[in-house]
Amino acid sequence: MSRQSMRANDPKKVSGELFTLTYGSLIAQLLKDYENVDDVNRQLERMGYNIGMRLIEDFLARANPGRCYDLRDTADKIQQAFKLYLGVSPSIGSWSPGGDEFSVVLETNPMAEFVELPDHCLGLRYSNILAGVIRGACEMVQLEVMAWFIADQLKGDNVTEIRVKFVKRLEDAIPAGED
Amino acid sequence: MTIYNFYLFDREGQLLHYAEWIRKKQSGMARDEEAKLMYGMIFSIKSFVTKVSPVDLREGYLTYTTNKYRLNLYETPSRYKFILNTDIHAQGIKELLHQIYTQVFVEYVVCNPLCPLTKPIESELFAAKLEEVVKQSPAYASRPA
């Protein structure tokens, strides 16, 4: 019980460097395993998706945020989740006129400290795992979204920017009928 | 006050876990058939309640009471359904269900990469912790006469 009560008030903290370096070695290994950077991007997105599917439960249990009723709600909660898990507060902005698309802007990217991209992997989206996490987590709460990077500090942009687009609302599964 | 039994369903209506403490009357059918009926009823009640409700419904907690027992349903935003049957006087069941979600399900199933999320839970640790949390709750403690 001590473990849980500790977690409830103060989420267990680990050194950010440990996380960043572990992620770095994952990328290095993926680059070795797949020669093509596009494949690496795809793998990262898939891994992120798998993490997101489970992470959402932890987020719901800890932050108890309730259900989202519109996309602005969702954006706020994504912001809150970044704070909880990565210790950074991204800003939300650049809403599309239809209100179905927004950007998550990170001033600093905690996943990419100590990183320099070598020339031969300029196509690599280093933090692509985050896009997968957002997609996986949203899918579990009946929101199909697309998430992708449009700016990356590693590639000389000022900020790191993830674009999130609402695709559709997923419906409740109907129970399997009697045969 | 007492707690009778517990069902956990995933978003597809699959029974992930069943536990019982006191159940004097069995339904007389196989567990999976019973689970299908249970899920079907919950599904219907939910859609019925949403349609008929005169006010906007936002909460993921639902109960109904007969004169012998009360069914308590807690649904997470990710559509996991936690169902606990208690007697009609049991208090604090909503909190207990939330506790089962955060301290048992998330800790011992979601955070356990070897536990698939779409199959019935086989983890013994999960079952043991569920047992512990339920038995510690005040609603379980006082048995009916």
ipTM of the complex: 0.84
Taking only the tens place, the pLDDT of each residue in B89-105 is 888 888 899 999 999 99
Nearest CB neighbour to A56, from listed B13, B78, B113? B78
* The pLDDT value given to residue A87: 87
* The pLDDT value given to residue B142: 63
Are residues A175 and B43, on separate chains, in Cβ contact within 8 Å? yes
How far CA B7 is from CA of B36, B81, B105, in Å, comes to: 11, 8, 12
Phi-psi category of residue A87: left, alpha or beta, with phi > 0 → left and psi -120 to 50 → alpha: left
Tens digits of pLDDT across chain A (179 residues): 444 444 445 566 777 888 888 998 998 899 889 888 889 999 999 999 999 999 999 999 988 887 788 888 899 999 999 998 988 889 998 899 988 999 999 988 888 887 777 777 778 888 899 999 999 999 998 889 999 999 888 888 888 999 999 998 887 666 554 44
Residue A9 burial by CB count (10 A; 0-12/13-18/19+): exposed, middle or buried?
exposed
Count other C-beta atoms under 10 Å from residue B31's C-beta.
12
Chain B residues touching residue A61 (CB < 8 angstroms)? 101-102, 106
* The pLDDT value given to residue A123: 84
If pLDDT is split at 50, 70 and 90, which confidence band does B15 have? very high
Nearest CB neighbour to A176, from listed B13, B77, B117? B13
Count other C-beta atoms under 10 Å from residue A25's C-beta.
9
Given a cut of 60, is residue B108 above it in pLDDT?
Answer: yes
Amino acid at B144: P
Chain A residues touching residue B12 (CB < 8 angstroms)? 173
Are residues A141 and B106, on separate chains, in Cβ contact within 8 Å? no
Provide the 3-class DSSP secondary structure of residue A179: coil
* The pLDDT value given to residue B115: 87
Model's pTM, two decimal places? 0.84
Nearest CB neighbour to A4, from listed B13, B107, B113? B107
* The pLDDT value given to residue A12: 66
Nearest CB neighbour to A58, from listed B43, B77, B106? B106
If pLDDT is split at 50, 70 and 90, which confidence band does B37 have? very high
Phi-psi category of residue A156: left, alpha or beta, with phi > 0 → left and psi -120 to 50 → alpha: left
Chain A residues touching residue B78 (CB < 8 angstroms)? 56-57, 60, 140-141
Are residues B117 and A54, on separate chains, in Cβ contact within 8 Å? yes
Are residues B117 and A176, on separate chains, in Cβ contact within 8 Å? no
Given a cut of 60, is residue B43 above it in pLDDT?
Answer: yes
Are residues A66 and B101, on separate chains, in Cβ contact within 8 Å? no
Mutate to test the interface with B, among A3, A4, A84 (most CBs of B within 10 A): A4
Are residues A175 and B77, on separate chains, in Cβ contact within 8 Å? no
Chain B residues touching residue A140 (CB < 8 angstroms)? 78
Distance CA A109, CA B138 (A): 46
Distance CA B99, CA B84 (A): 13
Given a cut of 50, is residue B145 above it in pLDDT?
Answer: no
**Average of pLDDT values for B2-30?**
89
